[in-house]
Copies of this chain bind each other. A is one copy, B any other.
Amino acid sequence: MSTLEKRKATNLPRYAKIRQMNRGSYDRALANEILDAGLVAHCGFIHENKPMVIPMAYARIGDKLYIHGASTTRIIKDNANGVPASLTVTLIDGIVVARSAFHHSMNYRCAIVHGTAHLVEDHDKQIEALAAITDHILPGRWDECRAMMAKEHKATGVLVMDMEHVSTKVRTGGPVDDTEDLGTDLWAGVVPVTTALGQPFDAYDVPEGTPVPESIPAARRKFA
């Protein structure tokens, strides 16, 4: 079977001639959209003159970002007293395959935030931030859990970062090849990259018949 016949047989889609975009911006609404869609952030801070980059759960409330960790960890202790910090969220959407290696690229959405991190001292603000971090990953999850205990609260450090400087970089669309490379017999296109949640697994010690809570998206999708 020829490639053309295969493509017809399988309805291999063509990448639409959409406006190709590869640009940076300072659009706050777009940055918020990317920040809210991410699963983990890569947090940057400086430790002994070295750039540290650590993956972290996080949440946005208005124009503030929150991360948390054990009170004893470096990222909490180093950043407690107002030093420059950053938070980057990257969503990968596709591998852009061009005729030339030079024009290969990725489709992605990235938000980069710079600010100054501080320890959150206020009890209610800490709880609000911890709830937001939990609900960022699984909306509604915080209220399903048993209430946080004082010793758990004490063991957790919460940092807040004002979104002082925000930038985004987004690439969409197909490859942009040199005119001389068009009309050759070289293929070009986009391989989509998708990150998805799968069907949840029960913990081994969950009794048979325990209802799967509403916040678990795959369960909700499956059983709704």
Listed in ascending order, the chain A residues whose CB lies under 8 Å from chain B are 2-4, 6-7, 10, 12-17, 39-40, 42-46, 49-55, 57, 84-88, 90, 92, 95, 97-102, 104, 106, 108, 110, 112, 114, 130-131, 134, 137-138, 141-142, 144-146, 148-149, 152, 155-156, 174-175, 177, 181-213, 216-219, 222-223
Contacts and interface: CB of A to CB of B under 8 A. Distances in A.
Contacts of A49: 46, 84
A50 B51 CA distance: 9
A174 B203 contact: yes
Contact of A3 (B44, B102, B130, B209): B209
Main secondary structure of the interface of A (DSSP, over half): mixed
Contact of A198 (B55, B141, B192, B204): B192
Nearest to A104: B134
A53 B49 CA distance: 15
A156 B104 CA distance: 13
B146 A100 contact: yes
* Chain multiplicity (copies): 2
Given A42-B53, A45-B51, A148-B101, A193 B187 contact: no
A194 B198 contact: yes
B204 A218 contact: no
Contact of A112 (B4, B17, B53, B197): B53
Contacts of A110: 55
A209 B186 CA distance: 11
A188 to B, nearest CB: 4
Given A39-B92, A97-B216, A200 B190 contact: yes
